[in-house]
Chain A
Amino acid sequence: DTGVSQDPRHKITKRGQNVTFRCDPISEHNRLYWYRQTLGQGPEFLTYFQNEAQLEKSRLLSDRFSAERPKGSFSTLEIQRTEQGDSAMYLCASSPRRGGEQFFGPGTRLTVL
């Protein structure tokens, strides 16, 4: 399967804990996006990488959130000191070019107790 993969698919954590999610984009795609989706809503943009450079961040991405793409391949999204409001589906997408279609992974569902 050469699609976008995300790990883990599900994560349950207690409030105050740190969590880290991983995204592996389609191999030749240099553009990578993170989105967050809460129940009943469409996905909301969090941040964007072109190769290893993080070029855009939404105001939704508070100081507790950090994303990296160290070698321009896989990416990680870390949430520190999780809150119940962080419970959501975290989606990763990749694209081969500016304005190209974005291919989404299956998402990581986070539940903060």
Chain B
Amino acid sequence: DAKTTQPPSMDCAEGRAANLPCNHSTISGNEYVYWYRQIHSQGPQYIIHGLKNNETNEMASLIITEDRKSSTLILPHATLRDTAVYYCIVRSLEGTASKLTFGTGTRLQVTL
């Protein structure tokens, strides 16, 4: 699976949009971009995923550049409960396990 690069930490004011970037310049054509988050002392939680089109669900939006070498996760109105480590993962759906390969993620701190 391709490697991802994320900033180690970011801050965001409550109520504002949080834009979390991710670089994945070696992504292959059949690899998806997944985002998970991990709130302190909990297991990771799925947020969203996409291949090449932008995606939106009730939690977030995912913007993938046309060349697919980078993406941005957008939390439109961040709250204190969004404080967590956010992991950008490039995942191939081929192979037996289709396992997740986590990096060190971005620690998002939402403040009042």
Interface residues of A (CB under 8 A from B): 4, 33, 35, 40-45, 48, 50, 55-56, 91, 93, 98-99, 101-107
Q: How far is the CA of A42 from the CA of B103 in the complex (A)?
A: 5
Q: Which of B37-83 contact A (CB under 8 A)?
A: 41-46, 49
Q: How far is the CA of A91 from the CA of B100 in the complex (A)?
A: 12
Q: How far is the CA of A55 from the CA of B99 in the complex (A)?
A: 12
Q: Please classify the interface of chain B as helix (H, G, I), strand (E, B), loop, or mixed, using the class held by over half of its residues.
A: loop
Contact at A45–B99, with CB atoms within 8 Å?
yes
**Known A40-B104, A42-B87, A42-B105; contact A33-B43, beta-carbon cutoff 8 A:** no
Closest partner residue, chain A, to B101 (CB atom) = A45
Partner of B97, one of A41, A44, A56, A101: A56
Q: Can you list 27 A-B pairs with a CB-CB distance of less than 8 A?
A: A4-B43, A33-B99, A35-B100, A41-B102, A42-B85, A42-B103, A42-B104, A43-B44, A45-B99, A45-B100, A45-B101, A48-B99, A50-B96, A55-B97, A56-B96, A91-B43, A91-B44, A93-B43, A93-B44, A99-B93, A101-B34, A102-B44, A102-B46, A104-B43, A104-B44, A104-B45, A106-B42
Most chain A CB atoms below 10 A, which of B42, B49, B91: B42
Q: How far is the CA of A105 from the CA of B38 in the complex (A)?
A: 11
Contact at B93–A107, with CB atoms within 8 Å?
no
Contact at A106–B43, with CB atoms within 8 Å?
yes
Kindly list chain B residues whose C-beta atoms are within 8 Å of the C-beta of A102. Answer: 44, 46, 100
Interface residues of B, CB < 8 Å — how many? 23
Q: How far is the CA of A4 from the CA of B106 in the complex (A)?
A: 25
Q: How far is the CA of A45 from the CA of B49 in the complex (A)?
A: 19
Q: Mark B25-40, 1 if CB is under 8 A from A, else 0.
A: 0000000101000000
Q: How far is the CA of A8 from the CA of B43 in the complex (A)?
A: 14
Kindly list chain B residues whose C-beta atoms are within 8 Å of the C-beta of A43. Answer: 44, 100, 102
Contact at A42–B102, with CB atoms within 8 Å?
yes
Shortest beta-carbon distance, B96 to chain A, in Å?
5
Q: How far is the CA of A37 from the CA of B96 in the complex (A)?
A: 22
